[in-house]
Amino acid sequence: MTKRNLVLGIAILALVAGMLGTLGASGGQTASGVRVPVIFDGQLYGPEEFNAIHQKLDSQGIDLIFVLQGGQLYAFSTMEEWYQYAAEQDSLAYPQSAVALEVSTASGSADYYFTQNYQHAYCQGECIWVYYSDWISNLSAYGFNDRISSVIVTSNPNLRDYCLFANKDYGGDYLLLARGQVYPALAPYGFNDRASSIKSNTY
């Protein structure tokens, strides 16, 4: 090996080590964060300002609760803040699909029982189907950790809401999705390729 190749190899290793260190320090949060305005604990923030706040809270081990409602993304620092907000709503209306999307399934009745979680945006790529009452504590067991980019939530009336968690065992930030809705892309809400566990909450 020439001296030049050795130096180049060391430089590449240092660059990779630096990237891994950065990923570890961020707690697995995507670098881009959210791309839409967020109402956080009642205060409206632009994407950049909120992402900076979120990164600071994440470094302190504070997990947030994200809720999509009426096309607006909300974030709450505690369950108490979320409960207070929910109690103030006459009826908690979840958002309609962000983008109109025609989706066909292999079986006409499949989407009544299963939520479809796709590898890519616009419901493309590999898919893991989750029964309407099932919980998955660790998506790694199914080869789907940090791989969900779009979701079609089952329309089963027994489903209350569908929760994607950033960490295994239902830890970290989580995103609530509504029954019967299509979410063609999770990236605008800072949840692309972040889900590590899932709860299908029923009535």
Domain ranges of the chain: 30-202
CA distance 14 to 20: 10
pLDDT tens digits along 181-190: 888 899 988 9
Q: What is the CATH number of domain 30-202?
A: 2.60.20.10
CA distance 98 to 187: 12
CA distance 146 to 7: 34
Local confidence band at 61 (pLDDT 50, 70, 90 cut-offs) = confident
This prediction's pTM: 0.62
pLDDT tens digits along 95-107: 333 333 333 333 3
Higher-confidence residue: 72 or 168?
168
pLDDT tens digits along 32-51: 688 888 899 989 999 999 99
pLDDT at 125 exceeding the cut of 50: yes
